[in-house]
Chain A
């Protein structure tokens, strides 16, 4: 069993990295380069989890989260912020905004997928690559 994960990230290198890691752990990744695009994709097909950068072109990560939480169909989807905002206080600000989890960039590729997995239903957690 694998999960369908929507990844919102506007930096191509970082999108490639997260996609690569999640796919290596046998998840299916849908990429989105903006909050608007992500919302349209999420409405068309509800993801099991959303991984989201916060600084995005157009609406930012906070606004994208708020839009998801306001929609009955998307309200329950776990959302993990993956961000380069990592000054003192940023973590609390992000969790208080309603994100389920916070991962600071640079991510640790050895632990990234496990951290994401913790927010997926047991059945959808990844199989470890060989």
Chain B
């Protein structure tokens, strides 16, 4: 230290000319132990009354910074690689899990269609059990892959104006057949005019499907009300799904949003569920800056709701 800049610049480098005053240059310099180190040279101009213009040079050893930059760069590319591997893993998992199910469900189906020949009543009953279990396994696989896609950030959420009434009507239409098999009637209440909310259409549909699906299973033999409520101020709309099922004890209300957790009081009604529907719905709601809320009275029923900003 205390030497002119040129003294620490390695041979072959020209001293910085006046045109680069104010610039900041990274170059290689010779350390006092003789090794080459990266340095940052910054220049600033000083006007003096006696000697005219002076240039001040600051030479900073940036070995540590360079080392950290290198480490960061390495970590980023490692992360990118891991994320690619994870995405490929998801695609492979989906493929590998579905391929054997194709034969299981496929041949159960051909047997039940009696294509190879007649079945006795017991065989038919047992094959229906194989089919129902296969379909259940498929929905668990689908939900797990959905969840894995959400958690790996692979689900693209596009927040645009979505007509809530149209989403609800489409969901209700698609679930009518399920409701019929459970002897449940579906009622939609609320403004029949379009009400736009800021949402991702696919995610919102999936949430409403999950909520109505659950409600149908709990409401066996009665009705499910899906209500659209515009807040008085008009800046939020709530979509709520009310069933007249057994209700959920207060101690279980938090747990039901966790993966594979079910309320003991309602476990029987959710035998055919995957235990992932509410968990996925909550994750999707969070991606849309919202939450799924629940209110329930044991013996009277439950209401699940999602509230969205109107636009």
Contacts and interface: CB of A to CB of B under 8 A. Distances in A.
A87 B152 CA distance: 13
A104 B106 CA distance: 12
Contacts of A63: none
A11 B101 CA distance: 12
Contact of B98 (A21, A84, A88, A110): A84
Interface stretch (B89-97, B121-129, B214-222, B255-263): B89-97
Interface in A62-101: 84-88
A127 interface: no
Nearest to B94: A87
B94 A14 contact: no
Nearest to A13: B103
A17 B113 CA distance: 13
B94 A17 contact: no
A105 B113 contact: no
A14 B155 contact: no
Given A85-B91, A85-B94, A87-B90, A11 B99 contact: yes
Interface residues of A, number: 21
B91 A109 contact: no
Nearest to B107: A17
Interface string B79-113: 00000000000110011101101111111011001
B138 interface: yes
B109 A14 contact: no
A24 B115 contact: yes
B145 A87 contact: yes
Contacts of A85: 91, 94-95
Contact of A86 (B94, B134, B154): B94
Contacts of B138: 106
B106 A110 contact: no
Interface string B137-158: 0100000011001000011000
Given A109-B106, A110-B109, A20 B115 contact: yes
Contact of B106 (A55, A84, A87, A106): A106
Chain B interface mostly helix, strand, loop or mixed?
helix
Interface string A96-126: 0000000011111110000000000000000
A118 to B, nearest CB: 19
A88 B149 contact: yes
Contacts of B107: 17
A110 B110 CA distance: 8
Most buried by A among B96, B101, B102, B154: B102
B83 to A, nearest CB: 15
Contact of B110 (A55, A84, A109): A109
A106 B97 CA distance: 10
Given A24-B115, A87-B145, A87-B149, A106 B110 contact: no
Nearest to B110: A109
Contacts of A87: 90-91, 94, 145, 149
B99 A84 contact: yes
B98, B106, B138, B155 — which one has the most chain A CB atoms within 10 A of its CB?
B106
Given A55-B95, A106-B101, A88 B155 contact: yes
Contact of A14 (B95, B99, B110, B134): B99
Nearest to B145: A87
Given A85-B94, A87-B91, A110-B113, A14 B149 contact: no
Given A86-B94, A86-B98, 11 more contacts: A11-B102, A17-B106, A17-B110, A84-B98, A85-B95, A88-B155, A106-B101, A108-B105, A109-B105, A109-B110, A110-B109
23 contacts: A13-B103, A17-B106, A21-B106, A24-B110, A84-B94, A84-B95, A84-B98, A85-B91, A86-B94, A87-B90, A87-B145, A88-B146, A88-B155, A88-B202, A104-B98, A105-B99, A106-B98, A106-B101, A106-B138, A107-B102, A107-B106, A109-B106, A110-B113
Give the 5 A-B CB pairs with smallest separation, nearest first: A109-B109, A84-B98, A13-B103, A17-B106, A106-B102
